Amino acid sequence: MPAYQGQRTLLVCLLALALMWADQNYSIVQTLRFAAGYVLYPAQQAALIPSSIAGWFSELGTARQDLLDENRQLSARNLVLELKAQRLASLEAENAELRELLSASEQVDDKVLVTTVVAIDPDPFSQQVLINKGSENGVFIGQPVLDAYGLLGQVVDVLPFSSKVMMIADSNHAIPVQINRNGVRAIATGTGALDQLELIYVPNTADIKEGDLLVSSGLGGRYPRGYPVAVVDRVEHQAGQMFASVTARPSAHLDRSRLLLLVFSQGAGKVPSKDLWKGAR
Amino acid sequence: MSIQSLIIGLLALFFGFVLEHLPMPDLIGWFQPLWVLVVVTLLVFQAPRTFGLWLAVPAGLMLDAEHATLMGTHVFTMAIHIFLVQLFFRRMEVFNLFQQMGVVLVLALLHQLLRFWLAQVLFDYPHPIDIWGPALSSVFVWPWVFALLRLTVLRTHT
């Protein structure tokens, strides 16, 4: 301890008190504060280095956080979509069940595959739809397609994951049918209008009435037997004509059905595509 | 007075001020040690011929600038602090680490108390409990700073 240290300390303390008093009353002491601040500046800047590095890292982290957030959002969205798809699948399954119950159960002992209409052919002269099942699902050309109410058409073009279905109302299409009531055979051709089929080669004398149900006859080996095709809505016997003019309304909801069934029945539909094209076009 | 210990001492003070200014999270900000006080204590304790009462003026003024207190507040507390360290340093040499820590606690608390009194006379100081946090944390940094400065060439009575 140096000599007179207590007195010196007292002196410094008194000076400090005087300085405090001066600082409170006179602004001149501010220059002293500025001077001290200048001396402090390097230390303060050095103290900020870690925080600026931390800031830099947190900026990096923020970008990463953004990406993570985006990723999370996309994942959530994906989940929602997947959930929807799942719901669709379950609805499809449920619908298929109901459909199987609906369409006369004795007919549907064939294997079926549920499919969805994904597009409609915009060509007004062709009645074709695109479905979301293709060769990967075992779809083949000439395969019969049904909806909940009856025969809808046949597959005319197969891609790996989608297929084109020509509906029975297409003017290029014809299907052998028979009257459910008495077994009279006829051929129902499309007219190009979705709500109308024409029965050709029906003798004038044939026993056919309005309201008769037409079912597929299975002749020709294209369509399986016994599926409802159309209901006769007009019969005209014209004198002097060889054939009666008969029109029928398709049972299948050609313009409304969204969920369709692809039928895998033994012996039906397996026609070489070359022949099919000949017949279809 | 040795140039070597002066340089080391000033460097230590510089880092003391760096640490004093270091931004702390709110949660532990309350426990920010009185780094400059600890360094000053150590310097006066370890190199009493180089660092004496004069250190109270620059260190105190810079602390005032740092903490935006009335100019002279820290000069006042530092002067008393240095005086007490000089009073105790002979005894501190024979103290073990825990006794030293006890002395540092008393000194730091006194420093805080003086600051508190001065601030209360002049302004409204937040809360008396603020005295304790920095004092306690200062005690716990003491052994580390002590060991660190012992690694340098700073030796007793230079």
Sorted by where each begins, the domain ranges of chain A are: 28-102, 169-252
Which residues does chain A have with pLDDT short of 50?
Answer: 104-108, 269, 272-274, 276-281
Q: Cα–Cα distance between A257 and A260 in angstroms, integer?
A: 7
pLDDT for the residue numbered B29: 64
Q: Determine whether the interchain pair A23/B86 forms a contact, defined as Cβ–Cβ distance below 8 Å.
A: no
pLDDT for the residue numbered A69: 85
Question: What pLDDT digit, counting tens, does each position of B103-129 carry?
Answer: 888 888 888 888 877 777 766 555 565
Q: Determine whether the interchain pair A47/B65 forms a contact, defined as Cβ–Cβ distance below 8 Å.
A: no
A71 touches chain B (CB under 8 A): no
- Residue A59 in tokens: 């900026």
Q: Determine whether the interchain pair B72/A44 forms a contact, defined as Cβ–Cβ distance below 8 Å.
A: no
What is the ipTM for the molecules in this complex?
Answer: 0.77
pLDDT for the residue numbered A193: 87
Q: Cα–Cα distance between B38 and B26 in angstroms, integer?
A: 22
pLDDT for the residue numbered A249: 93
Find chain A residues with C-beta within 8 A of B93's C-beta. none
Q: Determine whether the interchain pair A22/B22 forms a contact, defined as Cβ–Cβ distance below 8 Å.
A: no
A48 touches chain B (CB under 8 A): yes
- Residue A62 in tokens: 């923020």
Q: Cα–Cα distance between A204 and B151 in angstroms, integer?
A: 121
Q: Is A69 exposed, middle or buried (0-12, 13-18, 19+ CB in 10 A)?
A: exposed
pLDDT for the residue numbered A171: 86
Q: Cα–Cα distance between B102 and B139 in angstroms, integer?
A: 8
Question: What pLDDT digit, counting tens, does each position of B15-24 carry?
Answer: 888 888 776 6
A55 vs chain B: nearest CA distance in angstroms?
12
CATH topology of domain A169-252: Thrombin, subunit H (2.40.10)
Query: How high is the mean pLDDT of chain B?
Result: 79
Domains of chain B: 3-151 (1.10.1760)
Question: What pLDDT digit, counting tens, does each position of B129-157 carry?
Answer: 566 777 778 888 888 777 777 766 565 54
The beta-carbon neighbor of B83 closest among A5, A39, A42 is A5
The C-alpha torsion from A249 through A252 and A254 to A255, rounded to 10°, is 90
A6 touches chain B (CB under 8 A): yes
Find chain A residues with C-beta within 8 A of B64's C-beta. 33, 36
Are B85 and B107 contacting, i.e. CB atoms less than 8 angstroms apart? yes
pLDDT for the residue numbered A34: 76
Answer yes or no: is pLDDT of B46 > 50: yes
Most B CBs within 10 Å, among A17, A19, A24, to test the B interface: A19
Question: What pLDDT digit, counting tens, does each position of B88-106 carry?
Answer: 777 777 888 888 888 888 8
pLDDT for the residue numbered B127: 59
Looking at the DSSP assignment, which residues form a beta bridge with residue A188?
A175, A199
- Residue B136 in tokens: 């306690």
- Residue A6 in tokens: 């207590």
